[in-house]
Amino acid sequence: MPTTQEFLSPVLALVAWTLVMWVWMYATRIPAMKAAGIDPQEAAYPGTWAHRLRPGIRSVADNYNHLHEQPTIFYALMFFAAMTGGGDGTSLALAWGYVALRVLHSLVQATFNRVIVRFSLFALGTVVLMVFAARQVLRVLG
């Protein structure tokens, strides 16, 4: 049985990765906005100017946003498992698998953005998350 710190390490890893994507987003977005002549005040309404950026620039920002969507389920499951005795080795392996798939998803979306590859990684990550959740539900229901 992993310690709580070992078990929650994938949470820290995904948080750190999300912050890497934040840096990547602004390191690409700010220069791209300047190059496109977009006034920072236009950012108050993202739908009105984002189309003026190269797709690769938008993809990094889209991925940063994606890291605030489904991973919230992951975070909740991890803390639930850690607090209720469900933080076993299998759950830890599933957690690291999920984190690895999210990082790969990010790299695909932020670089060559091939939708079928990105979708496959997302779908596989979702299956991992579903297995993790099902294991916790079955454990709690006994």
Question: What pTM was estimated for this model as a whole?
Answer: 0.95
Q: How many domains does the chain have?
A: 1
Helix (H, G, I), strand (E, B) or coil at 54: coil
- Residue 92 has a pLDDT of 98
Those residues of the chain that have pLDDT short of 70 are none
- Residue 25 has a pLDDT of 96
- Residue 44 has a pLDDT of 87
Residue 86 belongs to domain spanning: 4-22+54-141
- Residue 94 has a pLDDT of 98
Tokens of 51: 């189309």
* 34: in domain: no
- Residue 56 has a pLDDT of 86
* 117: in domain: yes
Query: 94: which residues sit within 8 A by CB, 6+ positions away?
Result: 128, 131, 132, 135
DSSP assignment of 4-22 equals HHHHHHHHHHHHHHHHHHH
- Residue 105 has a pLDDT of 98
